[in-house]
Amino acid sequence: MPLRDRLASVAGALRGRGVWLVSTLLVLVVAIHFAYQAGSRHWSQSMLRFRAEHLELVKARDELADLRQTLVNREIAARIDAGTIEQLRQQVLELRTQISRQEGELAFYRNLMAEDDEVAGLEVDSLTLRPGSEPTSYQYRILVRRKSTGVEPVDVWVSLNIEGNRDGQVVSLPFNEADLSRQRDSLTIRFKYFKVLRGTFLLPEGFEPKRVVLSIIEKNDPSSLRIADFPWRVEEM
């Protein structure tokens, strides 16, 4: 075959292959383009879903934190309310106790000032005992009265003994051993119509009080001697 014909044949073959190659490349480019577009749309949709889910998660976390804080606030408020209610209850009890005491004091002084037909002279009107701050301590109140037409105050000598048992034996505690604030086993008071003595008995361990014996006598008047015997009875607070 002549050389020209061979070259023409080769050129034709090359042109055919070039067209095929170009066509193949075009198809490949178009396929890649569509794949990229599809991938981009899928990626965009995935990112949108991810962002939406992330926002929902953040919102849910914020709501959970708010709920937890609300729960903590309510628990604190409940504790405060419970403490306030208990405090108010204690205050009410204290006020009731105070009112009861004041009513008792009022009745005490009302009876004290009431007129009666008793014989003139000294009298140990009453002895009141109440629990103290310690197991063996007791607060006492002694009322001494004097009915007389005189207007001048008088000096009165007061003696007290608490009788009871200790270790199976009869024991008598004088005033200054029962009330440690007293320097002597008796004391002198001065009054015109009445006198209220207050203090605290502190009894020794193992001592079982039975009764309290009180003696009063006006100075320079032996006939005014009065002795009162009170059973040991402690009033509730």
Instruction: Specify the pLDDT at position 89.
Output: 77
Q: For residues 193 and 121, give the distance between their C-alpha atoms in angstroms, rounded to a whole number.
A: 10
User: What are 118's two structure tokens?
Assistant: 């008793």
User: For residues 140 and 43, what is the distance between their CA atoms, to the nearest angstrom?
Assistant: 93
pLDDT of residue 13: 56
Mean predicted confidence (pLDDT) in 103-112: 56
Fold annotation for 118-231: Immunoglobulin-like (2.60.40)
Residue 218 contacts residue 122 (beta carbons within 8 Å): yes
**Degrees to nearest 5, angle at CA 120 with 105 and 212:** 55
pLDDT tens digit sequence for 145-178 = 988 766 789 999 999 999 999 999 999 999 999 9
DSSP letter, residue 132: -
pLDDT the model gives residue 66: 82
Specify the pLDDT at position 127.
95
Q: List C-alpha distances in Å: 97 to 89, 90, 100, 103, 207.
A: 12, 10, 5, 10, 29
CA 47 to chain centre: 57
Q: Would you state the pLDDT for residue 185?
A: 87
pTM for the model stands at 0.53
The domain segmentation of the chain, as residue ranges, is 1-114, 118-231
Span 24-81, pLDDT tens digits: 667 666 666 665 565 556 556 666 676 777 777 777 778 878 888 888 888 777 776 7
